[in-house]
């Protein structure tokens, strides 16, 4: 296995682990506090990485300021607040499968806003993946979706999907002028600033000494491995292999999350979770397959 393939596989493993770390952190940390601390750490690490990889501190043009601010508000601030609020309620495995539908909605909306071609294979992949998400969300009881049995946890996690889709579509307009790594750094800083006020109100600084070592380990994992290292390695894969081949490794994220949740958190692996995982993974693969 080539080094870049190993990095992409580890990235998928890291991102799968974010759901377990997020689940542990969300139990006692407020969502604004957890998100704020995560991206303070991530912003510092990303700054160091950019200085080493880019050689200087890149500036953004005046016309890029508003899009970058929107990136920070959607993909960093809103996404992570919903992420921690959702993981406080539902299991890490279920959350991972719902969020794994991100590429599906991105492909669907990209065809609407950016005129990206949707082949029959991609349409079939979208249908398969959405069916898988429905199976997971409904816990295998499809009739329950129409009887008000879905909870706030699933709703929060689905809001994560919407936030990330907005982040990705806005980012598409900036990619030609700014590197993905620089975009992630700036959006991380904007999101951190936006989270500061709510985190203070939530008591982030008063509670710093009350967090356990396990919770600090979880938040450090989220900031360093789940954000900084994961994004750097993923975009390194895009540069070396291309976006289509690199994105295939995303299919391992929900699988690793379900497996890790079983071994670390003791979450049960139900038939609906297994079926949903398979459907979503196959759907995402077909959506990104080039023929």
pLDDT at residue 124, as a whole number:
83
At 270, the pLDDT band (50, 70, 90 cuts) reads confident
pTM of the complete model: 0.83
Average pLDDT over residues 2-31: 90
* pLDDT above 80 (res 16): yes
* pLDDT above 50 (res 146): no
Residues whose CB falls within 8 Å of the CB of residue 194, separated by 6 or more in sequence, listed in order: 72, 73, 76, 77
- pLDDT tens for each residue of 237-258: 766 776 556 666 777 888 888 8
At 150, the pLDDT band (50, 70, 90 cuts) reads low
pLDDT at residue 142, as a whole number:
59
Number of domains the chain is built from: 1
Range in 102-116, 160-174, 176-190, 254-268 the model is least confident about: 102-116
Choose among 159, 42, 12: nearest CA to 99.
159
- pLDDT tens for each residue of 38-90: 999 999 999 988 888 777 767 788 888 899 999 999 989 999 999 999 999 98
Average pLDDT over residues 221-244: 81
Q: Which two tokens stand for residue 48?
A: 């160091």
The angle subtended at Cα 181 by Cα 180 and Cα 187, nearest 5°, is: 85
* Residue span of the structural domain in which 81 resides: 3-288
């Amino acid at each position: 296995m080539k080094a870049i393939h190993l990095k992409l596989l580890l990235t998928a493993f890291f991102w799968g682990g974010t759901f377990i770390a997020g689940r542990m952190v969300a139990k006692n940390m407020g969502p604004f506090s957890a998100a704020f601390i995560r991206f303070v750490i991530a912003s510092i690490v990303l700054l160091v990485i950019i200085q080493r990889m880019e050689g200087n501190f890149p500036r953004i043009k005046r016309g890029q300021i508003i899009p970058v601010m929107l990136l920070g508000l959607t993909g960093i601030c809103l996404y992570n607040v919903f992420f921690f609020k959702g993981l406080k309620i539902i299991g890490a495995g279920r959350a991972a499968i719902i969020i794994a539908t991100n590429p599906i909605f991105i492909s669907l909306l990209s065809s609407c806003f950016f005129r990206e071609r949707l082949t029959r294979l991609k349409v079939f992949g979208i249908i398969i993946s959405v069916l898988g998400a429905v199976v997971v969300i409904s816990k295998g009881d499809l009739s329950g979706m129409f009887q008000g049995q879905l909870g706030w946890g699933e709703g929060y996690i689905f809001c994560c999907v919407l936030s990330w889709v907005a982040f990705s579509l806005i980012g598409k307009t900036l990619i030609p002028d700014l590197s993905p790594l620089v975009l992630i750094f700036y959006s991380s800083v904007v999101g951190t600033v936006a989270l500061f006020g709510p985190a203070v109100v939530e008591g982030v600084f008063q509670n710093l000494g009350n967090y356990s070592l396990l919770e600090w380990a979880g938040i450090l994992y989220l900031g360093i491995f789940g954000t900084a290292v994961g994004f750097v390695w993923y975009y390194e894969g895009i540069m070396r292999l291309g976006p289509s081949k690199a994105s295939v490794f995303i299919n391992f994220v929900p699988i690793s999350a379900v497996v890790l949740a079983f071994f670390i958190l003791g979450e049960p692996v139900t038939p609906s979770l297994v079926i949903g995982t398979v459907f979503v993974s196959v759907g995402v693969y077909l959506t990104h397959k080039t023929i």
